[in-house]
């Protein structure tokens, strides 16, 4: 295995509501080295889950993905990201409301910003959604790893994860707007 600092290893940061539901869809993609739940975008240094959930820190619940760019592209990660969220909701995601649950793409460099803007524009013009795509595209800032309890929650707490995901409305939304197209990202 290559060193984690390999020049082929890149970082992507996405906020898509509750980070518990954002890890597993990326974990299964080829070329993913790691997916870490955490907090980003706010001013408070070293925030806790309680701090962020209070909605007063400016932080988003997010995931940091380390990926091998020779195996998977940033474009494909964006394609997977769009399939996990309601990109027309600027007040949270599904049952989770408030600023810490708003969807956003945090770009690491100018190239990622350009690719993200192009991807958002294409989704907006696709006609898939009845409303405008409002997902934020922001410069990456400090990413603070969430408490251990939140890491790989779908593996460590499968019953609670399935229950939370089931009642969130996320899966119903995905089925309505993506249908069988949802799975295409995993077939390539």
Q: Which residues are catalytic?
A: 18
What is the C-alpha separation between 175 and 179, in angstroms, rounded?
A: 5
Name residue, tokens 């909701």: 89
User: Residues in the chain, how many?
Assistant: 188
- Judged by DSSP in three states, 179 sits in helix
N-to-C CA span, the chain: 23
What is the dihedral angle through the alpha carbons of 159, 162, 164, 170, rounded to the nearest 10 degrees?
A: 180
Report CA torsion sign: 89, 145, 164, 178: positive
Give 43: exposed, middle or buried? Use CB within 10 Å, 0-12, 13-18, 19+: exposed
**Distance (Å, rounded) from C-alpha 53 to C-alpha 98?**
9
Taking alpha carbons only, the member of 42, 39, 34, 45 closest to residue 11 is 34
């Amino acid at each position: 295995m290559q060193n984690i600092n390999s020049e082929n290893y890149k970082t992507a940061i996405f906020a898509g509501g509750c980070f518990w539901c954002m890890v597993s869809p990326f974990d299964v993609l080829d070329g993913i080295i790691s997916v870490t739940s955490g907090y980003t975008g706010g001013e408070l240094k070293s925030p806790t889950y309680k701090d962020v959930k209070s909605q007063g820190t400016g932080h988003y619940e997010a995931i940091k993905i380390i990926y091998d760019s020779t195996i998977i592209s940033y474009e494909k990660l964006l394609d997977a990201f769009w399939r996990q969220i309601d990109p027309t909701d600027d007040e949270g995601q599904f049952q989770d409301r408030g600023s810490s649950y708003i969807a956003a793409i945090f770009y690491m460099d100018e190239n990622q910003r350009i690719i993200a803007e192009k991807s958002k524009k294409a989704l907006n013009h696709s006609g898939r959604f009845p409303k405008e795509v409002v997902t934020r595209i922001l410069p990456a800032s400090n990413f603070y790893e969430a408490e251990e309890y939140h890491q790989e929650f779908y593996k460590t707490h499968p019953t609670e994860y399935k229950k939370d995901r089931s009642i969130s409305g996320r899966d119903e939304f995905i089925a309505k707007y993506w249908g069988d197209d949802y799975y295409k990202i995993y077939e390539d």
